[in-house]
Structure 1
Amino acid sequence: MATHWTLGGDANDPHLLAAFWAAALGYVPEPGYDEPDGASIVDPDGAGPAIGWLRVPETKAAKNRLHVDIRVAGEPPWDMAERERLIRAKVDALLDLGAIRIREEQYDGVLGHVVMHDPEGNEFCVA
C-alpha cells in the first residue's frame, strides 16, 4: 500500500495559489483547513495527494527543483492531433486563470508540452 503524502510549497499568497491550482487540477479546498497564512487543496475523489502552501516573506528566486506536469492528454497511444488540441485547450484555460506561457517544446515537429508559470512564477508543464 502506498503512503499518503502532501505536496507542500511556499507562497507569498497561499490562497491565490490554492485557488489557481484547484481550478487547474479539479481540486477543492481542504475541508476544515482555514488558516490565514496557509491554504490546502485536495482531490475530491481522494485519489491524488493534497497540496498545501504556507505564507513566506521572500519571493521565488530560482528555478523550481520540482514541478507539476498536468497531463491532459492521457496515456499513449495518442491521436497526436487530439493530444495537441487537449494541450492547447488546457493552456488557454490556464492563461485565463493567471498563468503565463513560457515556451512550447516540440519533438520531431510534434507538440510535446508547454512550459508555463503559475501566478507566483512557479514552473509547470502541460502535456
Structure 2
Amino acid sequence: MSTRVQVTFDSADPAAHAAFWAQALGYELEPPPDGFASWDEALDAWGVPPDHRNDRSALVDPAGEGPRLFFQKVPEPKQAKNRVHLDLRAAAGTDVEARMPALETECARLVALGATRVARHEPDRTSGGFIVMLDPEGNEFCLD
C-alpha cells in the first residue's frame, strides 16, 4: 500500500501563496468540512479569531490525482535555497523543437501571476532544457 503525499509550504501569506499555486497548477481551494457552507462559517463555529484566519490554506487537485498542497504561516522569511522543489512538467512529451517555446509560454503566464524568472537552461546531451523560477514567496521551482 502506498502512502499519500501532501506538499507543505511555509508562508508569510498562506491565502495569497495558495492563490498563486492554484492558478499555476489548476488546483482548487479545499472545500470546507461537511456541515459548513463556507470556510468562514466553519472558522466562526470553531472560534478562530479574525487575525488567525490566514494562518493556513490548502489546495486540492480537482481530478483527485495530485497531492494536497498545504500552506502554513510562519514568522520567519525564507533563508536559503530549497532542498526540495517542484518541477512543473509544462512540456513533458513535447518534441525538441517545440519544448523551449512551450516552456517560455508557461513562464510568461506564471510571471504574470507573480512568479519570477531566474534562469533558462538550454537543452544539451543530458537535459531537454528547463527554466528555473521563484514563486511569489521566493521558493524555487522549475518548468520542465
Common fold, TM-score beyond 0.5?
yes
Structure 2 residue 108 is matched with structure 1 residue 80: no
Structure 2 residue 108 is matched with structure 1 residue 106: no
Instruction: Note if contact 1:105-1:112 (Cα within 8 Å) is conserved in structure 2.
Output: yes
Instruction: Note if contact 1:73-1:83 (Cα within 8 Å) is conserved in structure 2.
Output: yes
Amino acid at match of 1:102: V
Amino acid at match of 1:114: I
SS of equivalent residue, structure 2 residue 101: helix
Q: How many Å separate the matches in 2 of 1:14 and 1:24?
A: 15
More strand by share: 1
Of the three residues 70, 78, 85, the one matched with 1:60 is: 78
Match of 1:32 in 2: 32
Amino acid at match of 2:124: D
Percentage of matched positions with identical amino acids = 43
Q: How many Å separate the matches in 2 of 1:96 and 1:36?
A: 24
Shift of 1:5: 1.9
> Which stretch shows the higher mean deviation, 42-51 or 79-88?
79-88
Of the three residues 57, 60, 66, the one matched with 1:42 is: 60
TM-score (norm 1): 0.91
How many residues were matched structurally?
125
TM-score (norm 2): 0.80
Q: Which runs of 4+ in 1 moved over 4 A?
A: none
Shift of 1:2: 2.5
Pairwise CA RMSD = 1.8
Q: Mind listing any 5+ residue stretches in structure 1 that lack a counterpart? A: none
Q: Mind listing any 5+ residue stretches in structure 2 that lack a counterpart? A: 34-38, 40-52
